[in-house]
Protein backbone atom coordinates (compact mmCIF):
# COMPACT_ATOMS: atom_id res chain seq x y z
CA UNK A 1 0.00 0.00 0.00
CA UNK A 2 1.45 3.30 -1.07
CA UNK A 3 0.20 6.75 -2.06
CA UNK A 4 2.57 6.83 -5.04
CA UNK A 5 0.62 8.01 -8.07
CA UNK A 6 -2.70 7.76 -6.19
CA UNK A 7 -3.19 11.51 -5.80
CA UNK A 8 -2.36 14.71 -7.68
CA UNK A 9 -2.01 18.35 -6.67
CA UNK A 10 -4.39 20.05 -9.10
CA UNK A 11 -4.54 23.51 -7.55
CA UNK A 12 -2.04 25.67 -5.70
CA UNK A 13 -2.32 29.25 -4.50
CA UNK A 14 -0.13 31.57 -2.46
CA UNK A 15 -1.84 34.67 -1.13
CA UNK A 16 -0.05 37.68 -2.62
CA UNK A 17 -0.48 39.72 0.57
CA UNK A 18 2.21 39.92 3.23
CA UNK A 19 0.61 42.59 5.44
CA UNK A 20 -3.17 42.31 5.58
CA UNK A 21 -4.56 44.55 8.34
CA UNK A 22 -7.99 44.82 6.72
CA UNK A 23 -8.74 41.13 6.21
CA UNK A 24 -9.94 38.65 8.82
CA UNK A 25 -8.09 35.36 9.15
CA UNK A 26 -11.26 33.61 7.93
CA UNK A 27 -11.41 35.79 4.85
CA UNK A 28 -7.74 35.01 4.10
CA UNK A 29 -8.59 31.27 4.26
CA UNK A 30 -11.51 31.91 1.92
CA UNK A 31 -9.46 33.90 -0.60
CA UNK A 32 -6.86 31.13 -0.61
CA UNK A 33 -9.49 28.41 -0.96
CA UNK A 34 -11.06 30.12 -3.96
CA UNK A 35 -7.64 30.85 -5.43
CA UNK A 36 -6.56 27.21 -5.34
CA UNK A 37 -9.92 25.85 -6.51
CA UNK A 38 -9.92 28.38 -9.35
CA UNK A 39 -6.40 27.32 -10.29
CA UNK A 40 -7.58 23.70 -10.44
CA UNK A 41 -10.78 24.50 -12.33
CA UNK A 42 -12.93 23.18 -9.49
CA UNK A 43 -15.54 24.76 -7.22
CA UNK A 44 -16.41 24.64 -3.52
CA UNK A 45 -19.17 22.13 -4.24
CA UNK A 46 -16.60 19.65 -5.55
CA UNK A 47 -14.71 19.55 -2.23
CA UNK A 48 -15.32 16.41 -0.16
CA UNK A 49 -12.18 16.49 1.99
CA UNK A 50 -11.03 19.41 4.14
CA UNK A 51 -7.72 20.00 5.88
CA UNK A 52 -6.55 22.91 8.03
CA UNK A 53 -4.43 23.30 11.14
CA UNK A 54 -7.47 23.54 13.40
CA UNK A 55 -6.05 26.46 15.37
CA UNK A 56 -8.96 28.73 14.55
CA UNK A 57 -12.17 27.83 16.36
CA UNK A 58 -13.45 24.31 16.93
CA UNK A 59 -10.86 22.12 15.24
CA UNK A 60 -11.46 22.27 11.50
CA UNK A 61 -15.21 22.60 11.92
CA UNK A 62 -15.36 26.39 12.29
CA UNK A 63 -13.48 26.94 9.04
CA UNK A 64 -15.50 24.25 7.21
CA UNK A 65 -18.63 26.12 8.30
CA UNK A 66 -17.24 29.50 7.20
CA UNK A 67 -16.35 28.02 3.79
CA UNK A 68 -19.67 26.14 3.51
CA UNK A 69 -18.06 22.73 3.18
CA UNK A 70 -19.69 19.39 4.03
CA UNK A 71 -16.71 17.09 3.73
CA UNK A 72 -16.81 13.32 4.12
CA UNK A 73 -13.23 13.52 5.41
CA UNK A 74 -11.70 16.10 7.76
CA UNK A 75 -8.22 16.38 9.26
CA UNK A 76 -6.91 19.18 11.47
CA UNK A 77 -3.47 17.76 12.18
CA UNK A 78 -1.22 20.40 13.71
CA UNK A 79 2.54 19.94 13.54
CA UNK A 80 3.51 23.61 13.29
CA UNK A 81 4.86 24.79 9.96
CA UNK A 82 4.98 21.24 8.63
CA UNK A 83 1.22 20.79 9.13
CA UNK A 84 0.31 21.49 5.51
CA UNK A 85 2.75 18.97 4.08
CA UNK A 86 1.30 16.43 6.49
CA UNK A 87 -2.12 17.39 5.14
CA UNK A 88 -0.97 16.65 1.57
CA UNK A 89 0.19 13.19 2.63
CA UNK A 90 -2.93 12.52 4.67
CA UNK A 91 -5.14 13.73 1.82
CA UNK A 92 -3.39 11.36 -0.57
CA UNK A 93 -3.89 8.46 1.86
CA UNK A 94 -7.56 9.35 2.26
CA UNK A 95 -7.98 9.54 -1.53
CA UNK A 96 -6.15 6.24 -1.99
CA UNK A 97 -8.53 4.69 0.57
CA UNK A 98 -11.57 6.06 -1.26
CA UNK A 99 -12.60 8.40 1.55
CA UNK A 100 -12.64 11.53 -0.63
CA UNK A 101 -11.74 12.67 -4.15
CA UNK A 102 -11.18 16.43 -3.89
CA UNK A 103 -9.26 17.53 -0.80
CA UNK A 104 -8.88 21.21 0.01
CA UNK A 105 -6.06 22.38 2.30
CA UNK A 106 -6.15 25.99 3.50
CA UNK A 107 -3.96 28.27 5.58
CA UNK A 108 -4.72 31.80 6.72
CA UNK A 109 -2.82 33.88 9.26
CA UNK A 110 -2.37 37.37 10.65
CA UNK A 111 0.61 38.00 12.88
CA UNK A 112 2.14 41.27 11.67
CA UNK A 113 2.39 43.84 14.42
CA UNK A 114 1.14 41.40 17.04
CA UNK A 115 3.33 40.87 20.11
CA UNK A 116 4.04 37.17 20.19
CA UNK A 117 2.61 35.42 23.22
CA UNK A 118 3.56 32.08 24.68
CA UNK A 119 4.08 29.51 21.93
CA UNK A 120 2.81 26.65 24.02
CA UNK A 121 -0.43 26.20 25.86
CA UNK A 122 0.32 26.49 29.59
CA UNK A 123 -1.05 23.03 30.30
CA UNK A 124 1.43 21.24 28.04
CA UNK A 125 3.83 19.11 30.08
CA UNK A 126 7.04 20.73 28.80
CA UNK A 127 5.83 24.29 29.30
CA UNK A 128 6.83 24.76 32.96
CA UNK A 129 10.36 23.55 32.18
CA UNK A 130 11.01 25.74 29.14
CA UNK A 131 8.82 28.83 29.11
CA UNK A 132 9.99 30.04 32.53
CA UNK A 133 13.55 30.26 31.23
CA UNK A 134 12.60 32.59 28.38
CA UNK A 135 12.65 30.01 25.60
CA UNK A 136 12.06 31.56 22.16
CA UNK A 137 12.05 30.01 18.71
CA UNK A 138 15.18 31.91 17.72
CA UNK A 139 16.77 30.90 21.03
CA UNK A 140 16.18 27.21 20.45
CA UNK A 141 17.52 27.34 16.89
CA UNK A 142 20.49 29.35 18.17
CA UNK A 143 21.27 26.55 20.63
CA UNK A 144 21.20 24.14 17.69
CA UNK A 145 23.37 26.40 15.55
CA UNK A 146 26.01 26.80 18.26
CA UNK A 147 26.10 23.07 18.93
CA UNK A 148 26.38 22.38 15.17
CA UNK A 149 29.29 24.83 15.03
CA UNK A 150 30.90 23.09 18.00
CA UNK A 151 30.61 19.58 16.55
CA UNK A 152 31.20 20.28 12.86
CA UNK A 153 33.00 23.63 12.59
CA UNK A 154 30.10 25.38 10.87
CA UNK A 155 30.56 29.17 10.69
CA UNK A 156 28.29 32.21 10.77
CA UNK A 157 29.46 33.12 7.25
CA UNK A 158 28.30 29.71 6.02
CA UNK A 159 24.89 30.27 7.60
CA UNK A 160 24.76 33.71 5.98
CA UNK A 161 25.33 32.14 2.56
CA UNK A 162 21.85 30.58 2.79
CA UNK A 163 20.28 34.02 3.21
CA UNK A 164 22.34 35.50 0.38
CA UNK A 165 21.09 32.83 -2.04
CA UNK A 166 17.48 33.37 -0.91
CA UNK A 167 17.80 37.11 -1.47
CA UNK A 168 19.12 36.58 -5.00
CA UNK A 169 15.96 34.64 -5.84
CA UNK A 170 13.66 37.03 -3.97
CA UNK A 171 14.70 40.02 -6.10
CA UNK A 172 12.65 38.42 -8.91
CA UNK A 173 9.53 37.86 -6.79
CA UNK A 174 7.30 40.95 -6.80
CA UNK A 175 5.34 39.65 -3.80
CA UNK A 176 8.38 38.90 -1.62
CA UNK A 177 8.49 40.87 1.64
CA UNK A 178 12.27 41.41 1.26
CA UNK A 179 13.42 41.87 -2.35
CA UNK A 180 16.79 43.48 -1.70
CA UNK A 181 19.88 41.42 -2.42
CA UNK A 182 22.08 41.07 0.63
CA UNK A 183 25.73 40.10 1.13
CA UNK A 184 27.40 37.86 3.68
CA UNK A 185 28.53 41.00 5.51
CA UNK A 186 24.98 42.38 5.52
CA UNK A 187 23.88 39.25 7.39
CA UNK A 188 26.82 39.27 9.79
CA UNK A 189 26.35 42.98 10.52
CA UNK A 190 22.62 42.75 11.16
CA UNK A 191 21.57 42.90 14.82
CA UNK A 192 22.05 39.78 16.90
CA UNK A 193 18.74 38.14 17.83
CA UNK A 194 20.08 35.09 19.68
CA UNK A 195 23.74 34.47 19.01
CA UNK A 196 24.94 33.10 16.66
CA UNK A 197 21.72 33.97 14.78
CA UNK A 198 21.42 37.50 13.41
CA UNK A 199 18.25 39.19 12.29
CA UNK A 200 18.97 38.22 8.67
CA UNK A 201 19.40 34.58 9.72
CA UNK A 202 15.72 34.61 10.66
CA UNK A 203 12.70 34.23 8.40
CA UNK A 204 10.28 37.04 7.72
CA UNK A 205 7.08 37.48 9.70
CA UNK A 206 4.08 37.80 7.38
CA UNK A 207 0.33 37.64 7.19
CA UNK A 208 -1.33 35.64 4.46
CA UNK A 209 -1.37 31.96 3.65
CA UNK A 210 -2.26 29.71 0.78
CA UNK A 211 -4.21 26.68 -0.31
CA UNK A 212 -3.77 23.39 -2.16
CA UNK A 213 -6.22 21.07 -3.90
CA UNK A 214 -5.30 17.37 -3.88
CA UNK A 215 -7.42 15.15 -6.14
CA UNK A 216 -7.91 11.57 -7.25
CA UNK A 217 -6.27 10.54 -10.56
CA UNK A 218 -9.56 10.48 -12.47
CA UNK A 219 -10.32 14.04 -11.36
CA UNK A 220 -6.83 15.18 -12.37
CA UNK A 221 -7.34 13.65 -15.82
CA UNK A 222 -10.58 15.59 -16.29
CA UNK A 223 -8.99 18.98 -15.56
CA UNK A 224 -7.41 21.32 -18.11
CA UNK A 225 -4.49 22.52 -15.99
CA UNK A 226 -1.41 20.36 -15.50
CA UNK A 227 -1.40 18.51 -12.19
CA UNK A 228 1.54 17.40 -10.07
CA UNK A 229 1.83 13.76 -9.12
CA UNK A 230 2.43 12.87 -5.48
CA UNK A 231 5.19 10.25 -5.44
CA UNK A 232 6.24 10.03 -1.83
CA UNK A 233 5.35 11.29 1.63
CA UNK A 234 7.42 10.83 4.77
CA UNK A 235 6.41 12.06 8.17
CA UNK A 236 8.13 12.04 11.55
CA UNK A 237 8.09 13.62 14.96
CA UNK A 238 11.26 14.48 16.79
CA UNK A 239 10.94 15.15 20.51
CA UNK A 240 13.05 15.06 23.61
CA UNK A 241 12.05 11.55 24.57
CA UNK A 242 13.19 10.74 28.10
CA UNK A 243 15.14 14.00 28.27
CA UNK A 244 18.22 13.66 26.09
CA UNK A 245 17.60 15.85 23.05
CA UNK A 246 20.32 16.07 20.40
CA UNK A 247 20.06 19.46 18.73
CA UNK A 248 22.34 18.67 15.79
CA UNK A 249 19.76 16.96 13.57
CA UNK A 250 16.18 17.48 12.43
CA UNK A 251 13.27 15.08 11.94
CA UNK A 252 14.26 14.97 8.26
CA UNK A 253 16.56 12.07 9.14
CA UNK A 254 13.38 9.97 9.35
CA UNK A 255 10.87 11.74 7.11
CA UNK A 256 13.33 12.03 4.21
CA UNK A 257 14.16 8.33 3.79
CA UNK A 258 10.47 7.44 4.12
CA UNK A 259 9.53 9.83 1.30
CA UNK A 260 12.44 8.78 -0.95
CA UNK A 261 11.64 5.10 -0.42
CA UNK A 262 7.98 5.56 -1.29
CA UNK A 263 8.85 7.56 -4.39
CA UNK A 264 11.62 5.13 -5.36
CA UNK A 265 14.11 7.93 -5.95
CA UNK A 266 17.29 9.23 -4.33
CA UNK A 267 18.40 12.77 -3.39
CA UNK A 268 20.55 12.89 -6.55
CA UNK A 269 17.40 12.55 -8.69
CA UNK A 270 15.76 15.73 -7.32
CA UNK A 271 15.72 18.72 -9.72
CA UNK A 272 14.36 21.33 -7.29
CA UNK A 273 13.84 21.48 -3.52
CA UNK A 274 11.75 23.69 -1.26
CA UNK A 275 13.56 23.39 2.08
CA UNK A 276 11.95 24.80 5.20
CA UNK A 277 13.85 27.93 6.18
CA UNK A 278 12.63 29.33 9.47
CA UNK A 279 16.29 30.14 10.05
CA UNK A 280 19.43 29.72 7.97
CA UNK A 281 20.53 26.85 10.23
CA UNK A 282 17.26 25.03 9.45
CA UNK A 283 18.20 24.82 5.76
CA UNK A 284 21.78 23.75 6.41
CA UNK A 285 20.82 20.94 8.77
CA UNK A 286 17.86 19.79 6.68
CA UNK A 287 20.03 19.48 3.55
CA UNK A 288 22.35 17.24 5.56
CA UNK A 289 19.54 15.20 7.04
CA UNK A 290 17.82 14.66 3.68
CA UNK A 291 21.09 13.33 2.30
CA UNK A 292 21.99 16.13 -0.12
CA UNK A 293 25.36 16.24 1.61
CA UNK A 294 27.05 14.31 4.41
CA UNK A 295 26.20 15.06 8.03
CA UNK A 296 28.35 17.90 9.24
CA UNK A 297 29.18 19.06 5.70
CA UNK A 298 26.18 21.40 5.38
CA UNK A 299 28.27 24.49 6.00
CA UNK A 300 30.72 23.73 3.21
CA UNK A 301 27.84 22.67 0.95
CA UNK A 302 25.78 25.87 1.21
CA UNK A 303 28.83 28.14 0.98
CA UNK A 304 30.20 26.47 -2.15
CA UNK A 305 29.95 28.99 -5.01
CA UNK A 306 26.73 28.45 -6.90
CA UNK A 307 25.14 26.26 -4.22
CA UNK A 308 21.36 26.59 -3.93
CA UNK A 309 21.29 28.67 -7.14
CA UNK A 310 19.64 27.88 -10.46
CA UNK A 311 22.84 26.53 -12.03
CA UNK A 312 23.73 24.30 -9.09
CA UNK A 313 22.96 20.61 -8.66
CA UNK A 314 20.01 21.52 -6.42
CA UNK A 315 18.24 24.89 -6.70
CA UNK A 316 16.55 25.65 -3.38
CA UNK A 317 13.67 28.00 -2.50
CA UNK A 318 13.47 29.83 -5.82
CA UNK A 319 10.66 32.07 -4.54
CA UNK A 320 13.00 33.56 -1.94
CA UNK A 321 11.69 31.19 0.73
CA UNK A 322 10.72 32.04 4.25
CA UNK A 323 13.94 33.98 4.66
CA UNK A 324 12.86 36.64 2.14
CA UNK A 325 9.49 35.90 0.56
CA UNK A 326 6.82 34.64 2.91
CA UNK A 327 6.40 32.79 6.21
CA UNK A 328 2.72 33.36 7.01
CA UNK A 329 1.73 33.02 10.62
CA UNK A 330 5.15 31.56 11.58
CA UNK A 331 4.24 28.54 9.40
CA UNK A 332 5.97 28.34 6.04
CA UNK A 333 5.11 24.81 4.93
CA UNK A 334 2.21 25.39 2.59
CA UNK A 335 4.01 27.94 0.42
CA UNK A 336 6.92 25.50 0.18
CA UNK A 337 4.59 23.13 -1.70
CA UNK A 338 3.23 25.95 -3.86
CA UNK A 339 6.69 26.84 -5.23
CA UNK A 340 7.44 23.17 -5.92
CA UNK A 341 4.18 22.95 -7.89
CA UNK A 342 5.11 26.08 -9.87
CA UNK A 343 8.48 24.58 -10.75
CA UNK A 344 7.00 21.25 -11.88
CA UNK A 345 4.36 22.99 -13.99
CA UNK A 346 7.02 25.21 -15.54
CA UNK A 347 5.18 28.23 -14.13
CA UNK A 348 7.81 29.66 -11.81
CA UNK A 349 9.00 33.19 -12.43
CA UNK A 350 11.00 32.92 -15.70
CA UNK A 351 14.10 34.22 -13.94
CA UNK A 352 14.04 31.33 -11.49
CA UNK A 353 12.45 28.49 -13.47
CA UNK A 354 14.49 25.28 -13.24
CA UNK A 355 15.00 23.85 -16.73
CA UNK A 356 13.18 20.59 -17.41
CA UNK A 357 12.10 20.25 -13.80
CA UNK A 358 10.61 16.76 -13.48
CA UNK A 359 11.14 15.83 -9.84
CA UNK A 360 10.82 18.14 -6.84
CA UNK A 361 11.01 17.82 -3.08
CA UNK A 362 9.21 19.93 -0.50
CA UNK A 363 10.19 19.71 3.14
CA UNK A 364 8.42 21.17 6.15
CA UNK A 365 9.62 21.64 9.70
CA UNK A 366 7.40 22.67 12.57
CA UNK A 367 8.40 23.66 16.07
CA UNK A 368 11.86 23.82 17.60
CA UNK A 369 14.96 21.69 17.45
CA UNK A 370 14.09 19.66 20.52
CA UNK A 371 10.49 19.10 19.48
CA UNK A 372 9.35 19.21 15.87
CA UNK A 373 7.08 17.88 13.19
CA UNK A 374 8.92 16.95 10.00
CA UNK A 375 7.34 16.13 6.66
CA UNK A 376 8.96 15.42 3.29
CA UNK A 377 7.08 15.22 0.00
CA UNK A 378 8.43 14.02 -3.35
CA UNK A 379 6.46 15.41 -6.27
CA UNK A 380 6.67 14.64 -9.97
CA UNK A 381 5.70 16.38 -13.17
CA UNK A 382 2.45 14.86 -14.37
CA UNK A 383 4.20 12.83 -17.05
CA UNK A 384 6.99 11.79 -14.67
CA UNK B 1 20.30 33.67 44.86
CA UNK B 2 18.82 36.57 42.96
CA UNK B 3 20.09 36.68 39.40
CA UNK B 4 17.95 39.75 38.52
CA UNK B 5 16.38 37.76 35.68
CA UNK B 6 12.61 37.44 35.45
CA UNK B 7 11.42 34.44 37.43
CA UNK B 8 7.91 33.61 36.28
CA UNK B 9 6.08 31.16 38.51
CA UNK B 10 5.76 27.77 36.81
CA UNK B 11 2.42 26.05 36.46
CA UNK B 12 2.49 23.12 38.89
CA UNK B 13 0.67 19.87 38.19
CA UNK B 14 0.23 16.59 40.06
CA UNK B 15 3.19 15.28 38.03
CA UNK B 16 5.50 18.10 39.08
CA UNK B 17 4.43 19.10 42.61
CA UNK B 18 7.23 17.20 44.35
CA UNK B 19 9.83 18.63 41.96
CA UNK B 20 8.82 22.24 42.56
CA UNK B 21 8.40 21.76 46.32
CA UNK B 22 12.00 20.54 46.45
CA UNK B 23 13.24 23.61 44.57
CA UNK B 24 12.05 25.76 47.47
CA UNK B 25 14.52 23.83 49.64
CA UNK B 26 17.33 24.26 47.16
CA UNK B 27 17.13 20.67 45.95
CA UNK B 28 17.07 19.54 42.30
CA UNK B 29 15.08 16.32 41.99
CA UNK B 30 15.26 13.87 39.11
CA UNK B 31 13.22 10.73 38.57
CA UNK B 32 14.41 7.21 38.03
CA UNK B 33 12.12 4.55 36.60
CA UNK B 34 11.49 1.75 39.09
CA UNK B 35 11.28 -0.77 36.27
CA UNK B 36 14.08 0.11 33.82
CA UNK B 37 16.19 2.36 36.10
CA UNK B 38 16.36 5.04 33.39
CA UNK B 39 16.76 8.60 34.66
CA UNK B 40 14.10 10.73 32.96
CA UNK B 41 13.53 14.45 32.45
CA UNK B 42 11.24 16.49 32.76
CA UNK B 43 9.25 15.26 35.76
CA UNK B 44 6.36 13.06 34.71
CA UNK B 45 4.30 10.33 36.30
CA UNK B 46 5.32 7.87 33.62
CA UNK B 47 8.53 6.42 32.25
CA UNK B 48 8.48 7.03 28.52
CA UNK B 49 11.56 4.89 28.08
CA UNK B 50 9.74 1.67 29.04
CA UNK B 51 6.10 2.45 29.81
CA UNK B 52 6.26 1.92 33.54
CA UNK B 53 3.90 3.97 35.72
CA UNK B 54 6.25 3.69 38.70
CA UNK B 55 9.04 6.23 39.13
CA UNK B 56 10.98 7.41 42.18
CA UNK B 57 12.47 10.85 42.77
CA UNK B 58 16.07 11.25 43.88
CA UNK B 59 18.29 14.21 44.59
CA UNK B 60 20.45 15.11 41.62
CA UNK B 61 24.06 16.15 41.98
CA UNK B 62 23.11 19.58 40.64
CA UNK B 63 26.23 19.48 38.50
CA UNK B 64 26.72 19.19 34.81
CA UNK B 65 28.13 20.87 31.74
CA UNK B 66 26.93 23.29 29.10
CA UNK B 67 25.60 21.41 26.04
CA UNK B 68 24.81 24.66 24.20
CA UNK B 69 24.04 28.27 25.02
CA UNK B 70 22.89 31.50 23.41
CA UNK B 71 22.62 35.11 24.45
CA UNK B 72 19.02 36.03 23.62
CA UNK B 73 18.64 39.69 22.69
CA UNK B 74 14.95 39.53 21.84
CA UNK B 75 13.13 38.19 24.84
CA UNK B 76 9.45 37.34 24.66
CA UNK B 77 6.63 37.21 27.22
CA UNK B 78 8.12 37.60 30.73
CA UNK B 79 11.56 38.39 29.23
CA UNK B 80 10.33 41.05 26.84
CA UNK B 81 11.89 43.89 28.83
CA UNK B 82 15.11 42.00 29.59
CA UNK B 83 17.89 43.44 27.39
CA UNK B 84 19.61 40.08 27.05
CA UNK B 85 20.00 36.82 28.93
CA UNK B 86 21.64 33.44 28.53
CA UNK B 87 19.40 30.57 27.47
CA UNK B 88 21.21 27.26 27.72
CA UNK B 89 20.84 23.55 27.57
CA UNK B 90 22.75 21.87 30.37
CA UNK B 91 23.61 18.19 30.45
CA UNK B 92 23.43 17.03 34.04
CA UNK B 93 25.92 14.44 35.24
CA UNK B 94 22.94 12.06 35.47
CA UNK B 95 22.69 12.20 31.66
CA UNK B 96 19.58 14.29 31.00
CA UNK B 97 19.62 17.65 29.23
CA UNK B 98 17.51 20.50 30.55
CA UNK B 99 16.71 23.96 29.29
CA UNK B 100 17.80 26.63 31.76
CA UNK B 101 19.63 29.94 32.11
CA UNK B 102 23.28 30.51 32.90
CA UNK B 103 23.69 33.28 35.46
CA UNK B 104 26.63 34.93 37.19
CA UNK B 105 28.86 34.84 34.11
CA UNK B 106 29.55 37.07 31.12
CA UNK B 107 28.43 35.53 27.81
CA UNK B 108 31.95 35.84 26.41
CA UNK B 109 33.29 33.71 29.27
CA UNK B 110 31.05 30.73 28.49
CA UNK B 111 31.91 27.71 26.38
CA UNK B 112 30.34 24.40 25.49
CA UNK B 113 31.52 21.72 27.89
CA UNK B 114 32.02 24.16 30.74
CA UNK B 115 31.20 22.77 34.20
CA UNK B 116 28.19 24.34 35.87
CA UNK B 117 26.29 23.95 39.12
CA UNK B 118 22.66 24.60 39.96
CA UNK B 119 21.48 27.72 41.80
CA UNK B 120 17.89 28.62 42.60
CA UNK B 121 15.96 31.83 41.94
CA UNK B 122 12.74 32.34 43.87
CA UNK B 123 9.69 32.28 41.62
CA UNK B 124 6.85 33.04 43.99
CA UNK B 125 5.64 31.11 47.00
CA UNK B 126 5.66 27.64 45.54
CA UNK B 127 8.74 27.30 43.36
CA UNK B 128 12.28 28.38 42.64
CA UNK B 129 13.80 28.19 39.16
CA UNK B 130 16.85 25.94 38.74
CA UNK B 131 19.47 27.99 36.93
CA UNK B 132 23.17 27.31 36.59
CA UNK B 133 26.42 29.12 37.33
CA UNK B 134 29.93 28.22 36.25
CA UNK B 135 31.08 25.67 38.84
CA UNK B 136 34.20 27.63 39.72
CA UNK B 137 32.03 30.55 40.86
CA UNK B 138 29.83 28.62 43.28
CA UNK B 139 31.19 28.43 46.80
pLDDT of residue B138: 58
- Contact between A371 and A43 (Cβ < 8 Å): no
Pair (A47, A177) in one structural domain: no
Pair (A241, A281) in one structural domain: yes
Please determine, for residue A384, whether its predicted confidence score (pLDDT) is greater than 60.
Answer: no
Give ∠ CA A159-A162-A165 in degrees, rounded to 5: 150
Pair (A139, A243) in one structural domain: yes
Give ∠ CA A351-A357-A358 in degrees, rounded to 5: 165
Query: Chains A and B: how many Cβ contacts under 8 Å?
Result: 134
On whether residue A2 sits in a domain, the answer given is no
A130: closest chain B residue by CA: B99
User: Which residue range(s) make up the domain with A71?
Assistant: 8-113+207-227
User: Can you name the residues that pair with A229 across neighbouring β-strands?
Assistant: A8, A380
Segment B70-83, tens digit of pLDDT? 999 999 999 999 99
Pair (A212, A343) in one structural domain: no
pLDDT (mean) for A158-172: 98
Pair (A158, A273) in one structural domain: yes
CB-CB: which of A115, A134, A243 is closest to B97?
A243
On whether residue A78 sits in a domain, the answer given is yes
Question: Is B77 within 8 Å of A142 when comparing Cβ atoms?
Answer: no
Number of residues that make up chain A: 384
On whether residue A124 sits in a domain, the answer given is no
Pair (A159, A278) in one structural domain: yes
B77: closest chain A residue by CA: A117
A370 interaction partners in chain B (CB closer than 8 Å): 89, 99
Residue A123 or residue A127, greater confidence: A127
Put the strands of the sheet holding A49-51 in their side by side order: A73-75, A49-51, A102-109, A208-215, A8-14, A228-238, A372-381, A359-367, A272-275
ipTM at complex level: 0.97
Pair (A97, A152) in one structural domain: no
Phi, psi of A323 (to 5 degrees): -70, -25
With a cut of 50, which residues of chain B have pLDDT below it? Answer: none
Pair (A66, A179) in one structural domain: no
Number of residues that make up chain B: 139
pLDDT of residue A57: 87
On whether residue A277 sits in a domain, the answer given is yes
What CATH number did the domain enclosing A72 receive?
3.40.47.10
On whether residue A374 sits in a domain, the answer given is yes
Question: Is B87 within 8 Å of A116 when comparing Cβ atoms?
Answer: no
pLDDT (mean) for A324-336: 97
The tally of domains found in chain A comes to 2
pLDDT (mean) for A235-264: 97
pLDDT band at residue A123 using 50, 70 and 90 as cut-offs:
confident
Pair (A133, A178) in one structural domain: yes
pLDDT band at residue A114 using 50, 70 and 90 as cut-offs:
confident
Which residues, numbered 21 to 40 in chain B, qualify as contacts with chain A under a Cβ-Cβ cut-off of 8 Å? 38-40
B82 interaction partners in chain A (CB closer than 8 Å): 134
On whether residue A244 sits in a domain, the answer given is yes
0.95 surpassed by pTM:
yes
pLDDT of residue A119: 66
Segment A37-62, tens digit of pLDDT? 999 999 999 999 999 999 888 989 99
User: In A72-230, where does DSSP find H-type helix?
Assistant: 83-96, 137-152, 156-170, 184-189, 217-222
Cα separation, A368 vs A291, in Å, equals 21
Cα separation, B61 vs B75, in Å, equals 30
Which residues, numbered 125 to 144 in chain A, qualify as contacts with chain B under a Cβ-Cβ cut-off of 8 Å? 125-136, 138-139, 142-144
Pair (A170, A269) in one structural domain: yes
Pair (A272, A375) in one structural domain: yes
pLDDT > 90: percent of chain A: 92
Please determine, for residue A376, whether its predicted confidence score (pLDDT) is greater than 90.
Answer: yes
Mean pLDDT across chain A: 96
Which residues, numbered 234 to 273 in chain A, qualify as contacts with chain B under a Cβ-Cβ cut-off of 8 Å? 240-245, 247
Amino acid sequence: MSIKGKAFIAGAYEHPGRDLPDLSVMRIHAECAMGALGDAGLSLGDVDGYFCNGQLGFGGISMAEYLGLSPSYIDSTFTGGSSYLAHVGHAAAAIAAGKCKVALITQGAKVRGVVRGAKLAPDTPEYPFEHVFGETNAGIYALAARRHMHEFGTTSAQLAAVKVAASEFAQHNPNALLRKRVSIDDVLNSPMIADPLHRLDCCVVTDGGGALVVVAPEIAKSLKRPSVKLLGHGEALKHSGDGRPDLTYTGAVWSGPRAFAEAGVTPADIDYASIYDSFTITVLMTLEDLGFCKKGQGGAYVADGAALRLDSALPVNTDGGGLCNNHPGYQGGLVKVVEAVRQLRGEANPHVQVKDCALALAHGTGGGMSRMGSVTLVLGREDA
Amino acid sequence: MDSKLPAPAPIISADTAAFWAATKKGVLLLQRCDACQRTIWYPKAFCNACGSLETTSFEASGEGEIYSFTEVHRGETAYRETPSFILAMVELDEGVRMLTNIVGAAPDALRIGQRVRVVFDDAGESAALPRFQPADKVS
